[in-house]
Amino acid sequence: MLGPVQRIPRYEMLLKDYLRKLPEDSFDRKDADKSLEIISTAASHSNTAIRKMENLKKLLMVYEMLGEEEDIVHPSNEFIKEGQIMKLAARNTSTQERHLFLFNNMLLYCVPKFSLAGGKYSVRTKIGLEGMKVVETQNEDHRHTFQISGKERTLELQAGSEQIKVEWIKVLNDAATDFQQRNETFLIAKKVDEAPLEVPSAELGLRAPRWIRDNEVTMCMKCKEPFNALTRRRHHCRACGYVVCWKCSDYKAPLEYDGNKLNKVCKDCYHILRGSNDSEEKEKKKGILEIESAEVSGNSVICSFLQYNEKSKPWQKVWCVIPKQEALVLYMYGAPQDVKAQTSIPLLGYLVDDSPRGVDMQFSFRLSQSKSTHCFSADTEELKQRWLKVINLAVKGLTQEDIEDYSTEDGQLEGSQ
């Protein structure tokens, strides 16, 4: 059965070899060229047919692995890639095993099915390639993470290694780009440098948002009231993905990405989706502490987690930021995504002690001025020294440009986390 398939490319090779040795003025030259053109066309058709058969076989294999529940066996469907992946939970940093099947028009996000008979996987979500965005993400607790954002759902996934992560990002972006090029009526997807934390107003309800994790905030991202386990618990807005309290999430609106079903949304998204203006809640001018952590962290001289102690109070972990626009002020947040700082310290005039006595924490330093004393502790000696370099300049009243020039020369301070 393989004879005819093997014979066609063999004829093509023999004809090419024959033409190389045939004189240009030979009476047989014209017929030989025409024969090579005909046999090359036949070989091309043969290779195309073989690829289609192999693709059909793979589609049938995936069809059986999915328990014959998804109708994926179609001439227009082309299998591209599959593989095991870990999914990061939206509410916390736990991981679950998942499996991805990528085709030329969709991505199947599947969960393992533990059964003696039937398929090995069950489809959890089908994400179309139209408008899909795939970007690399930075996660403090997990390495090799990336985000897939589609109209149906947004997922944050963890690959087994950096190489596997790069391969998935490339093949997903290539598949999405190819899909857009085949459909000229859609806009070509633009490359995104980082995962957006806020869904644009024009896309509210059209695209599943990325959920801010519970451990990334300590207060409601709308009213800025601190959360607690009893009276002010955490809820997620299904339109923008923000973590809000029950008062700020006591609204429902139909979301197109979820089949226009009513979903819990925050008050701001509710008014945008309904097309109404909330005249009673006019935007107020932000106070000195009402600056979002994510906003200043992305444009900071230095930012990281530090342990903080004041007077006789216990040590607590805080997210510390020195923003570029206020390079002489240290802001302290409860978590990287908080919308309001817990406190701020104007660094000008403070005394810096890089080896304080009586402090039982390693890699510690102290800021003191009059009766005000603040103790900090870093995770490593390197991080401590990076903070001290910036703070030692700020307490002397150096300008923003001075600190930026210094941090650029150092090569490690600017934008560090």
Q: What is the 3-state secondary structure (H, E, C) of 252-285?
A: EEEEHHHCCEEEEECHHHHHHHHCCCCCCCCCCC
The average pLDDT across 66-83 equals 80
The average pLDDT across 195-222 equals 76
The average pLDDT across 164-184 equals 86
Other CB atoms within 10 A of residue 169 CB = 17
Interatomic CA distance for residues 34 and 308, integer angstroms: 82
The pLDDT value recorded for residue 2 is: 61
The pLDDT value recorded for residue 163 is: 92
User: Token pair for residue 255?
Assistant: 């979301």
The pLDDT value recorded for residue 385 is: 92
Q: Is the pLDDT of residue 136 over 80?
A: yes
The pLDDT value recorded for residue 383 is: 92
Among 33-37, 95-99, 358-362, where is mean pLDDT lowest?
358-362
Query: Of 301, 345, 308, which is closest to residue 323 (Cα–Cα)?
Result: 301
Name the phi and psi angles at 167, rounded to 5. Answer: -65, -45
The pLDDT value recorded for residue 166 is: 92
| Total length of the chain | 417
Other CB atoms within 10 A of residue 220 CB = 25
Q: Is the pLDDT of residue 28 over 70?
A: yes
The end-to-end CA distance of the chain, in Å, is 63
Which residue is associated with the tokens 């593989």?
83
Among 8-17, 120-129, 145-154, 196-205, where is mean pLDDT lowest?
196-205
Q: How far is CA 395 from CA 191, 325, 357, 370, 411, in A?
A: 41, 16, 21, 14, 21
The pLDDT value recorded for residue 69 is: 74
Is residue 288 very low, low, confident or very high in pLDDT (cuts 50, 70, 90)? low
- Is pTM, for the whole model, over 0.85? no
Is residue 234 very low, low, confident or very high in pLDDT (cuts 50, 70, 90)? confident
Q: Are strands 329-333 and 343-346 parallel, antiparallel or unpaired?
A: antiparallel
Among 48-57, 213-222, 287-296, where is mean pLDDT lowest?
287-296
> Exposure pattern of 32-50 as b/e (b: 16+ CB <10 Å)?
eeebbeebbeebeebeeee
Is residue 1 very low, low, confident or very high in pLDDT (cuts 50, 70, 90)? low
DSSP bridge partners of 157: 87, 146
Query: Of 241, 131, 230, 253, which is closest to residue 197 (Cα–Cα)?
Result: 241
